[in-house]
């Protein structure tokens, strides 16, 4: 079983590849240099800390406010079981409690075929139209159905992530972009699947399952030992269990306005 300590260490290492990093013991702060969206900016604990953290968390909030970011903390509950009470005592509120699941080459199962579905893995040489479509589908699939077409600059950001070792996949159904999935740069045998999204009108057809299976197989073919992801809830978790993911831990997010 993948240990909580190894999970947390990977998440810090992977975030450091794409974020500005501030050391503020017992936390590391990760700031997206371009996007203030709350989910792209967060702190993670570097040790299983708890107790009275008021002074340290006030300093954390000051650092976030200085960058016009919402103070947030993300962590694996099993790694720091005493952190959640300390955050609540310091005025933070729980904003997310999600299931973390893992998959290995031994548990991976193929996804059922989806007629008319074609999945493309984007490379650094991918056409700009594919890169922009990937960004737009992700934005629209994550609660912003009216998001405009992605810009060329956003497409180039996607290309840079791929060049850094991350994976990006675009699913088309009968030629129409309908779903996306990414994985973070594999490090130490681990990788995380992120950004799995399907346009609302196309959900329930097995597209997310097919994307997940394809992305995971690519990471294993490249030498990864374990892939993991965070599911919104138990219902979403069952989608990933169909291709071999199993519950492993609990991912928490806390924020203070």
For every residue of 178-199, DSSP letters joined together read EEEEEEPPPBTTEEEEEEEEE-
Q: Which of 74, 45, 44, 4 is nearest to 228 (CA)?
A: 4
Residue 219's φ and ψ, nearest 5 degrees, are: -65, -40
Q: What pLDDT is stored for residue 139 in this prediction?
A: 87
Q: What is the pLDDT of residues 83-135, one digit of tens each?
A: 999 999 999 999 999 999 999 999 999 999 999 999 999 999 999 999 999 99
**Residues in the chain with pLDDT < 70?**
1
pLDDT in the model for residue 227 = 97
Backbone angles phi, psi at 110, to 5 degrees: -70, 150
| Domain limits, the chain | 4-99, 117-224
Report the CATH architecture of 4-99: 3-Layer(aba) Sandwich (3.40)
Mean pLDDT over the full length of the chain: 93
Same fold: 4-99 with 117-224: yes
- The predicted structure's pLDDT at residue 36: 86
The reported pLDDT for the residue numbered 145 is 78
Residue 1 is predicted with a pLDDT of 66
Distance CA 126, CA 114 (A): 24
CATH number of 117-224: 3.40.630.30
């Amino acid at each position: 079983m993948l240990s909580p300590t190894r999970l947390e260490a990977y998440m810090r290492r992977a975030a450091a590849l794409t974020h500005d990093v501030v050391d503020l013991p017992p936390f590391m702060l990760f700031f997206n240099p371009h996007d203030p969206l709350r989910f792209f900016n967060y702190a993670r604990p570097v040790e299983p800390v708890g107790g009275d953290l008021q002074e340290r968390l006030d300093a954390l909030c000051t650092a976030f406010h200085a960058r016009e970011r919402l103070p947030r903390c993300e962590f694996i509950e099993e790694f720091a079981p005493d952190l959640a009470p300390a955050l609540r005592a310091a005025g933070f509120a729980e904003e997310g409690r999600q299931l973390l699941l893992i998959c290995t080459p031994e548990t991976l199962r193929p996804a059922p075929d989806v007629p008319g579905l074609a999945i493309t893995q984007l490379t650094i040489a991918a056409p700009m139209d594919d890169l922009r479509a990937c960004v737009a589908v992700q934005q629209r699939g994550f609660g912003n159905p009216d998001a405009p077409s992605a810009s060329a600059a956003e497409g180039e950001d996607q290309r840079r992530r791929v060049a850094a070792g991350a994976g990006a996949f675009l699913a088309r159904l009968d030629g129409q972009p309908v779903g996306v999935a990414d994985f973070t740069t594999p490090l130490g045998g681990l990788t995380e699947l992120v950004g799995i999204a399907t346009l609302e009108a196309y959900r329930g057809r097995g597209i997310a399952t097919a994307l997940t299976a394809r992305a995971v197989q690519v990471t294993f073919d490249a030498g990864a030992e374990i892939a993991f992801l965070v599911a919104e809830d138990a219902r979403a978790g069952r989608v990933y269990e169909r291709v071999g993911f199993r519950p492993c831990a609990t991912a928490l997010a806390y924020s203070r306005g």
